[in-house]
Amino acid sequence: MRIEIVDVGPRDGLQNEAEILAPETRAELCDRLAAAGLPRVEAASFVNPKRVPQMAGAEEVMRGLHRREGTVYAGLVLNEKGYERAVEAGVDEVRYAFPVTETFAKKNQNTTVADATALAERLVERARLDGVRVSITLSAAFGDPFEGAVEPGHVLGIAGRVAEAQPDEIVLADTIGVGVPLQVRELVRGAAAHGVTVGCHFHDTRNTGIANAVAAVESGATVLDASVGGTGGCPFAPQATGNVATEDLVYLLHGMGYETGVDLKALVEVARWLSGKLGKELPGQVYKAGVFEPVAG
């Protein structure tokens, strides 16, 4: 079975790093990821650069890409203006994310859950007219940095509304890395029951990211976000450390018999290269420990 991995390293990975990489370096990161076989890359974030200086120059990143045939280059947007910038800049896919809780929606995007859901529906419609793919992420779906536990029924209610608009996929995001496999199974099955492609986005803050990924793919998710080297976080969510490292996820998935299209050894080289660019060791483990063929036969 095939799982599509979206490397969000150039966006979610880098947006919380102290070291700011120039747009041309971020474009080069995308090129390297595409060359390693990543089918989709979240190349840039069309947010206000005053709020997230690491993501300034989204248009330059897009212009700097050496686009690879078959690779999907996505851009994150948090509002309609961002959507317009992203489409103008030539993304293949718009990824619109909004929190499922009121406090986080207010703090992160100065909106309400109802307004954000309505915007999701509108952006799906606009994307269809504009001929770009559209992915909708439900942030803080497994727990909220301010409100604590989040009811699965609440998340699935929002997922149902979004699913009716028929986006290319719905991504359930554990923004602060608190989820456990039991939750993952309930949310993924519930979302998939709406007849939509389901993705998951895990942060490895409490070491549950890989276990959650296993639960996700075994419950029907076919898309997983990850970040090369395990960089990343969320600048507005306290303690939200890195995304699941893409190479750790690929190691796991290949060992479990899933296909990803990714060349793991090439990806490990990208992690090493990024580690050099950021001037520090990254949280990913496989790039440090080395690749191994775990299953006999």
Applying CB under 8 A, among 131, 195, 257, 279 the residue interacting with a copy of itself is 257
Contact pattern from residue 276 through residue 295 relative to a copy of itself, giving x for each residue in contact according to CB under 8 A and a dash for the rest: --------xxx--xx-xxxx
Give yes or no for residue 271 binding a copy of itself (CB under 8 A): no
Of 144, 168, 10, whose CA–CA distance to 75 is shortest? Answer: 10
Q: Which is nearer to a copy of itself, 83 or 287 (CB)?
A: 287
Applying CB under 8 A, among 19, 255, 259, 281 the residue interacting with a copy of itself is 255
Q: Would you say how long the chain is, in residues?
A: 297
Of 227, 216, 211, whose CA–CA distance to 17 is shortest? Answer: 227
**Among 40-48, 102-110, 190-198, 202-210, the segment contacting a copy of itself (CB under 8 A):** 202-210
Q: Which is nearer to a copy of itself, 90 or 152 (CB)?
A: 152
Applying CB under 8 A, among 178, 221, 278, 282 the residue interacting with a copy of itself is 178
Of 128, 117, 132, whose CA–CA distance to 46 is shortest? Answer: 132
Per-residue tokens: 168: 């290319």
Give yes or no for residue 297 binding a copy of itself (CB under 8 A): yes
Q: Which helix (H) or strand (E) holds 42?
A: strand 40-45
Per-residue tokens: 16: 């919380």
* Residues tagged active-site: 234
Q: Which helix (H) or strand (E) holds 157?
A: helix 152-164
Contact pattern from residue 226 through residue 245 relative to a copy of itself, giving x for each residue in contact according to CB under 8 A and a dash for the rest: -------------x-x---x
Nearest distance, CB of residue 212 and a copy of itself, angstroms: 8
Give yes or no for residue 269 binding a copy of itself (CB under 8 A): no
Q: Which is nearer to a copy of itself, 164 or 259 (CB)?
A: 259
Per-residue tokens: 50: 């005053």
Q: What is the DSSP string of 57-117?
A: -HHHHHHH--PPTT-EEEEEESSHHHHHHHHHHT-SEEEEEEESSHHHHHHHHS--HHHHH
**Among 31-39, 99-107, 160-168, 170-178, the segment contacting a copy of itself (CB under 8 A):** 170-178
Applying CB under 8 A, among 56, 210, 228, 267 the residue interacting with a copy of itself is 210
Applying CB under 8 A, among 135, 137, 183, 231 the residue interacting with a copy of itself is 183
Give yes or no for residue 141 binding a copy of itself (CB under 8 A): no
Give yes or no for residue 39 binding a copy of itself (CB under 8 A): no
Q: Is 139 exposed, middle or buried (0-12, 13-18, 19+ CB in 10 A)?
A: buried
CB neighbour list of residue 109: distance below 8 Å, 6 or more residues apart? 78, 79, 98, 99, 116
**Bridge-partner residues for 5, per DSSP?**
224
For 213-293, where are the E strands, in sequence order? 223-226
Nearest distance, CB of residue 137 and a copy of itself, angstroms: 19
Give yes or no for residue 142 binding a copy of itself (CB under 8 A): yes
Contact residues toward a copy of itself (CB under 8 A) are 142-143, 148-152, 176-183, 204-211, 213-215, 239, 241, 245, 248, 251-252, 255-257, 284-286, 289-290, 292-297
